[in-house]
Amino acid sequence: MKMLENKWALVTGSSRGIGQQIAWGLAGRGCNIIVHGRERQNLDATLAGLKAYPVQTAIATGELASAAGVAQVIEQASAAPGPVDILYNNAAVQARSESILTIDQAEWNRVFQINVWALMALCQAFAPGMRARGYGRIINLTSGIADQPNLAVYSVSKAAVDKYSRDLAAEFKGENVLVNYLDPGWLQTDLGGKNAWFPVETVLPGALVPALLEDNGPTGRFFSAMDFKYLEK
């Protein structure tokens, strides 16, 4: 049974890595996909993979590093043939490694713009439509990073994502707009590095669990993709 058939999902940062895997996984369950990347040419591999599934696709391009770029993504995603029913806020950047005592304001601003402010703007853009339609799934990617003060900017940005997700879930309590946050695990991606514990493909099927929740299911919860990595894809 394809629970997501005819739904539309926007997956930020889906030109490669975790976002690409999520896009392909959703398409395998009948979900139409809005693929996002900074530039159009970066999306070819993901779009090629989506051809294996009988779903519709659309494209949204733009840098999440600026308010103008975020607005461009929202405009293009809003022009897709269907409304955004599922939002995966996957795109993120790592912080540079340095002493927590010397991190400057510019580095906090750079990371928070993409990891937090852009995520919030996308939620604000698409959650009201979900409310109006009585259906929505928002999945904000977080991290299990801990005890690495040299990467405090990244870890604090993800802590902000967790708290924002819980507060947004409370806003939509009882309205079937489920907001949850997902730790994909330490994966072999450009961000995770080649020494990470697991290949990127192991993010499935766990990364899809928050999108597959039944109506009025759990919200404001933490999910770990690795808890489900031994299940069938």
Q: What is the pLDDT of residues 60-114, one digit of tens each?
A: 999 999 999 999 999 999 999 999 999 999 999 999 999 999 999 999 999 999 9
Residue 181 annotated among the catalytic residues of the structure: no
CA distance readout (Å), 161 to 116, 121, 148, 168: 6, 12, 18, 10
- Tell whether 192 is covered by a domain: yes
| CATH number (domain holding residue 187) | 3.40.50.720
Tell me the pTM. 0.94
- Tell whether 3 is covered by a domain: no
- Tell whether 68 is covered by a domain: yes
- Tell whether 2 is covered by a domain: no
Question: CB under 8 Å, gap of 24 or more: what pairs does 222-225 form?
Answer: 222/142, 222/162, 222/180, 222/181, 222/182, 222/183, 223/180, 223/181, 223/182, 223/183, 224/144, 224/182, 224/183, 224/185, 225/182, 225/183, 225/184, 225/185
Exactly one of 154, 164, 181, 230 is catalytic; which is it? 154
Number of domains in the chain: 1
- Tell whether 183 is covered by a domain: yes
Domain encompassing residue 19: 8-228
> Cβ distance 152 to 103 under 8 Å?
yes
- The per-residue pLDDT for 1 is 42
> Cβ distance 139 to 119 under 8 Å?
no
